[in-house]
Structure 1
Amino acid sequence: MGKQLEQIIPDLQEFIQKQNVFFVATAMSTGKVNLSPKGMDSFRIIDSKRVMWLNVTGSGNETATHLLENDRITVMFCAFEGKPMILRLYGKGKVYHQRDSEWEEFIHLFPELPGARQLVDIEVEMVQTSCGMAVPFMDFNRERDELKKWTQKQGEDGIKEYWNKKNTVSMDGHKTGIFE
């Protein structure tokens, strides 16, 4: 059933690359735990011990806040078709913004996504698989296009204004570092 590994092996890399959705969890030492679904073509495996995801504009910016204080992060994938499996990547995360040199180094790995806000770089410490036999079968229909349309309507200045209003402080009142 479940296994723990020190790195992402080729079979698991193939599984990850086929998934249309993944979930990210972070927490500070106090306050709320954040768990967010992610989609789009926003996840990359750099090597067997390192992954990265392009975080796009959202109504909050909890992951960035949490990683400033506590670098623990978990990414989870579930098989909604085919053989059942849940795969978790446990690690330490860092956030890169457009002002950081790492942004320029890695942004080319991703398609141009609307509202691109941060890159989250994760050093994988443990890979865990479990059965996933209770996860339902679900068919992927298509990506949503609402974010793309909304960000195009806002324009670059409008997105930065939105970040200033909605993404500078977490729901627990901590700075996110988006402009610092």
Structure 2
Amino acid sequence: MGWIGETMDSIRSLQIRQVLTQAVRLGMIVTLALITWKGLMCITGIELPVTVVVSESMEPGVKRGDILFVHMSKDPIRAGEIVIFNVDGREIPIVHRVIKVHERQDTGEVDVLTKGDNNLVDDTFLYAHGRLWLQRHHIRGRAVGFLPYVGWATIIMTEKPIIMYLLIGAIGLQVITKKE
């Protein structure tokens, strides 16, 4: 019974080491993702350096499911630029094009009017009650590039959370049970 017990202890020890190794690998993947995200935040200077387009309001140029790379600079905002902005009371940022820029004579600050390319009217109905323009502090960034269709994974997981939970569970199970 002595050598059988020692063999069983060795197998258990090996299994524990494998599980711990896989847990450390999973932790490293998550850490790398967070470091990448924080690095993008530092480089771009904004909270959302990557944004998924979740509606069809900017079609045909920018489609639902496209991922936009976002940057913010001190340069003046110009008509024709695609901007990402927040409106008071709305959690999800909006991606639309600047159609008019208005410089206030009293302060020199610039206000902007936006519109989705696929919309018939401008966005004043989205702004806070009585507001006709967005101010600079509403603008979260400017689109500087995009990847088509890559954001569909995010949209699907947001609209059907069960898919996200199944995917996370499957990845976690695969990482933990993977043999060396």
Say whether the fold is shared (TM-score over 0.5): no
Q: TM-score, normalised by structure 2?
A: 0.24
- Considering fraction of residues, name the structure with more strand: 1
Which of the two has greater helix per residue? 2
Q: Which has the higher contact order (CA 8 A, sep 6+)?
A: 1
Larger-gyration structure (1/2): 2
TM-score after normalising by structure 1: 0.24
